[in-house]
Structure 1
């Protein structure tokens, strides 16, 4: 468990994207983001794509980094 969460935490920290901003962009609660980055639960496949899409809007480099970290971990 946590492959996506680990990648997401690293990307949010590196690119200084607040959890709340990502949550708003995705239309989910901040507690969902918190659960994912602290590996309490894993995002579904649809949410992996939603994370990528939201990160793409916030910072395209962050979106690329997330996918790379997720696929290579």
Structure 2
């Protein structure tokens, strides 16, 4: 699980989009967005498309970053590893 949830979490935080707003725009309960962001459940492929469409409506840059993070480019796991290694070196 997780790449969509990790990408979505980062985008929502970066662009200050609330889980409630995304859920409202998607016409679903906030608990669904919570489950994706916390990697309890993955959104379906159709839902990922809907997320992109709504993010474009809210903030086009957020949508593009979500796509980039979800489909490739800067791997979230690689960035997490780099942060961990940086923290280890400074200790």
TM-score class, shorter: over 0.9
Q: Aligned partners of 1:33, 1:57: CA distance in 2, in Å?
A: 17
Name the counterpart of 1:63: 63
Q: Aligned partners of 2:58, 2:39: CA distance in 1, in Å?
A: 23
Q: Which has the higher contact order (CA 8 A, sep 6+)?
A: 1
Q: Aligned partners of 1:35, 1:22: CA distance in 2, in Å?
A: 13
Return the offset for 1:35: 0.0
Return the offset for 1:4: 0.1
Return the offset for 1:61: 0.2
Residue-pair matches, total? 73
Return the offset for 1:52: 0.3
Structure 1 unaligned blocks of 5 or more: none
What's the TM-score, normalizing by structure 2?
0.79
Return the offset for 1:31: 0.2
Q: Aligned partners of 2:66, 2:29: CA distance in 1, in Å?
A: 20
Q: Write out the 4+ residue segments of structure 1 that deviate beyond 6 Å after TM superposition.
A: none
1:5 and 2:5 matched = yes
Name the counterpart of 1:54: 54
How much is the aligned-residue C-alpha RMSD, in angstroms?
Answer: 0.6
Q: Aligned partners of 2:47, 2:29: CA distance in 1, in Å?
A: 12
